[in-house]
Structure 1
Amino acid sequence: MRVFLQQHPSATEPARYLQLTLQPDLFGGWELLRESGLVGGRAQLRRELFLQAEPAHRAFEKARDAQLQRGYQITYTSGVAPR
């Protein structure tokens, strides 16, 4: 599942984005990928590994909800119902 969130730009700062991707890995575990940065600029990619699906889903939802509280808005979702 994947969700793309974007924060609207202010007068002094460009727009920021965050993309969360949750996917199974080749060894039966799960990967949570967090890509963030400025739209049209450099990005940072962080990877978190989980052995089971349930903790991975909870971490995905927690990360999504935290960004929604910070003012990000969901732009695109795939495989997950938006909040």
Structure 2
Amino acid sequence: MNHIYLERHDTDKNLHRFYQMFVTPGIFGDWSLVREWGRVGSPGTVRKDWFCCEEDALAAENKLVANKGKKGYQPKPSK
């Protein structure tokens, strides 16, 4: 399981956000992309998206990482 943890900070706007995700297998041969986001230090919102194969889930994860990078999120050590 590859866990990705990103943070974005803008002290002028009091913006301190995190975004984390990982791909994990389901019990029926499917795969899920689990995402959590919110303010650093607070519990976040969790969402699971299901895919028929691991490759599709990893492709969706890579696309999200690229999109978050464009918005200023930077990788941080995982919690």
- Which category describes the TM-score, using the shorter chain as reference length? 0.7 to 0.9
User: Deviation string for 1:45-80 (max 9, x for gaps)?
Assistant: 111000111111110100111101110000136xxx
Secondary structure in 2 aligned to 1:62?
Answer: helix
1:23-42 counterparts in 2 under 5 A?
A: 23-42=24-43
Would you say 1:20 and 2:25 are equivalent positions?
no
What TM-score do you get using the length of structure 2 for normalisation?
0.87
Number of positions where the alignment pairs a residue of Structure 1 with one of Structure 2: 77
Which residue of structure 2 lines up, in the alignment, with residue 46 of structure 1?
47
Contact kept, 8 Å, 1:8 with 1:15, in 2: the verdict is: yes
> 5+ residue gaps in structure 1?
78-83
Which residue of structure 2 lines up, in the alignment, with residue 80 of structure 1?
none
Deviating above 6 A after TM superposition, structure 1's stretches of 4 or more consecutive aligned residues are none
Which residue of structure 1 lines up, in the alignment, with residue 61 of structure 2?
60
Structure 1 residue 42: Cα displacement: 3.8
RMSD of the alignment, in Å? 1.4
Contact kept, 8 Å, 1:22 with 1:30, in 2: the verdict is: yes
> 5+ residue gaps in structure 2?
none
Name the CA distance, whole Å, in 2 between partners of 1:17 and 1:4. 7
Structure 1 residue 8: Cα displacement: 1.6
More helix as a share of residues: 2
